[in-house]
Amino acid sequence: MIVFVSWGLMLFGLIFFGKSDFTFPLASIFTGTLLFVCYLDWLSPEITNLMPVLKSYWLKIHVATIIISYTPLALSTLLG
């Protein structure tokens, strides 16, 4: 999901680049930071497979919708 947020953040950075000159550079820095954090997941041996109850089709839609809504919030927070 962090990779999904990174792509969404870069998309919103490109969309709103015309309104502010700081949007794309900040989105690029934040995207790079998120991708770096995504790379660090191998450090935690506690991450395991999902429980069968969490393997629902609707869980993917629900989480994707909520996570993509965080990207404009994060971008506006950085610009603020």
> 10 Å Cβ neighbour count for 6?
21
Residues 6+ apart with CB under 8 A from 42: none
Q: What is the pLDDT along the chain (80 residues), one digit of tens a residue?
A: 778 888 888 888 888 888 878 888 888 888 888 888 877 767 666 666 767 767 777 777 887 788 778 888 877 887 77
Q: What range does the domain containing 20 cover?
A: 2-79
As for how many domains the chain has, the answer is 1
Cα dihedral 67/70/71/76 (nearest 10): 180
pLDDT of residue 48: 67
Q: State the pLDDT at residue 30.
A: 86
Give dist(CA 42, CA 19) in Å, integer.
38
* CA dist 16 → 36, 50, 70 (Å): 24, 36, 15
Angle in degrees, CA 18, 23, 27, rounded to 5: 135
